[in-house]
Amino acid sequence: MKLRLDKKDLKSFLQSLIDQYDLYAPVQLTEGVSVYKKIDRPGEVSLTLLNPQKPLKEIFFPQSEVMFDFEKVGKRNQVTSTEEVKKERVILGARPCDIQAISILDEIFLGKDYTDVYFLQKRKLTTIIGFSCNHPLSTCFCSSTGGSPFFREGADLFFIDLEEAFLVELLTEKGMAFQKNRFFKEADPKDISLAKEIEEKASTKGDASVPIERIEKRLNLMMESPFWDRVHEKCMGCRICTYLCPTCHCFDIVDEALNNRGHRVRNWDSCLSSLYSQETSGHNPRPSGRERTRQRLMHKFNYFPKNFGRVACVGCGRCILYCPVNFDIRQAIELTSPKGIKKEKAEVN
C-alpha cells in the first residue's frame, strides 16, 4: 500500500502522533549529537543526522532500566514491579539498519527459550516508521550484512524522502492501521517512479564489499590465531562501540539502594571492560584486550551465527565513526578473509 505525505503536513502529522501515542524520534541534544527520545513538541524532532549517536535499541532496551523496586521492613522484603508500559508507541525516523537490529534483539529477548517481559511489553506496543537512506554514508555497510539503504523488513511503515513529500509504504498490520490517516494522500505514479529511482541510486552506494559471507566458518579456525595478538592493540578499552552498537545487548544487573529502599536495575554492559568477566576471586578469563576484542568480534560473527543463524552486525557504521582511535570493524573483518590477509602481506613487503 503506497501513500504520500506532503512535507508541509509533516508538523501536523507529528502533532497527531503526539496526541495519540507516545512518539519517539531523533532529537538533537547539541549540534551534531542526537538520540531517540520521547517527543512532546513536533519541533523537537531532528531528522538531519542519518543515525543518532545512540541506537534505536535504547527505546526497547534502555541503558538503565529499573526491573523492580524494593523496600526492607525489618526482616521482610517488599518487592513491587515497575509499572507496565500501557500506551501505544510510535517510533519515527529509524533507519533500516537500526530496525534490522531490533529483529536481532528479538532473537535474544523474545527467543524460543526465554521471553523478556520488559522488552516484550515495549516491543508489542510499538509501531516503527522507518526512513529510507537516500544518501548512505561511506561508513555504512548494511549491504554487506544482508540489509540495504532501503531495507524495509521490521518497519511497519516506511517513508521515502522525495524532497517535497514522503512516499509512505504501509508494510504490516500495524502499518495498515494508518491507512485512513488524514494526512496521507494517495500516491501519484510519479512519486512511485521517483522513489524507485532514488532507491536504485542509493543502493549503489551501500558498501557491499565487506567480506561477511562465510565469516562464521573462517572464525571457527581462528580462535587461537595470532590475528588477535595484533588486532586489539590500538583498542583503548572504552565502551563506545558496544554502547553505540544497535545489536550489542549485554547487560549487568545491580541493586541501587538508599537506606532501606532501592531498586534492581539492568544496565548496559560491555565485553570490552575488564570487570565484565572478572570473577570475585580475582580470576579473569579475559584478562587483556586480546581476549576482550576477540569476544566482541567472535560474538558478532561466530557465536551469534552459531546460535541464531545470522551475524549480529547490521553495518550501521557507528563503531567506525565514533571510535577514538579509528578501530575499523570493516578492516578487522577483511583481515580474517584470504583476500585481506593477502593485502596485509602485500603492504608489508
Cell of 227: 590475528
Q: Is beta strand 33-38 parallel, antiparallel or unpaired with respect to 22-30?
A: antiparallel
Q: Is beta strand 89-94 parallel, antiparallel or unpaired with respect to 22-30?
A: parallel
Amino acid at 194: L
Provide CB contacts within 8 A for 342, sequence distance 6+: none
Shortest distance in whole angstroms from residue 342 CB to other proteins: 16
What does the alpha-carbon distance between residue 155 and residue 186 come to, in Å, rounded to a whole number? 20
Shortest distance in whole angstroms from residue 267 CB to other proteins: 5
Closest among 175, 217, 166, 215 to 195, alpha carbons compared: 166
Shortest distance in whole angstroms from residue 163 CB to other proteins: 15
142 within 8 A of 206, measured Cβ to Cβ: yes
* Alpha helix positions (H), the chain: 10-20, 57-60, 96-109, 117-124, 173-176, 189-203, 215-220, 227-231, 240-243, 289-298, 304-308, 318-322, 329-335, 338-348
Shortest distance in whole angstroms from residue 212 CB to other proteins: 17
What does the alpha-carbon distance between residue 215 and residue 298 come to, in Å, rounded to a whole number? 10
Helix (H, G, I), strand (E, B) or coil at 340: helix
**Cα angle, residue 336 at apex, residues 322 and 227 outer, rounded to 5°:** 85
Q: Which residue has the cell 488524514?
A: 182
Of 177 and 222, the one with the shorter C-beta distance to other proteins is 222
Of 54 and 174, the one with the shorter C-beta distance to other proteins is 54
Q: Which residue has the cell 524522502?
A: 161
Shortest distance in whole angstroms from residue 176 CB to other proteins: 33
Of 176 and 325, the one with the shorter C-beta distance to other proteins is 325
Of 41 and 322, the one with the shorter C-beta distance to other proteins is 322
Q: Which residue has the cell 529477548?
A: 109
Shortest distance in whole angstroms from residue 284 CB to other proteins: 9
Give the H/E segment covering residue 92: strand 89-94
Shortest distance in whole angstroms from residue 83 CB to other proteins: 6
Alpha-carbon torsion (128, 134, 140, 146), positive or negative: positive
Which residues, listed in sequence order, are joined to residue 22 by a DSSP beta bridge? Answer: 89
Of 4 and 296, the one with the shorter C-beta distance to other proteins is 296
Of 127 and 270, the one with the shorter C-beta distance to other proteins is 270
Shortest distance in whole angstroms from residue 246 CB to other proteins: 14
Of 19 and 326, the one with the shorter C-beta distance to other proteins is 326
Shortest distance in whole angstroms from residue 278 CB to other proteins: 7
Of 157 and 219, the one with the shorter C-beta distance to other proteins is 219
Of 108 and 198, the one with the shorter C-beta distance to other proteins is 108
Provide CB contacts within 8 A for 44, sequence distance 6+: 25, 27, 37
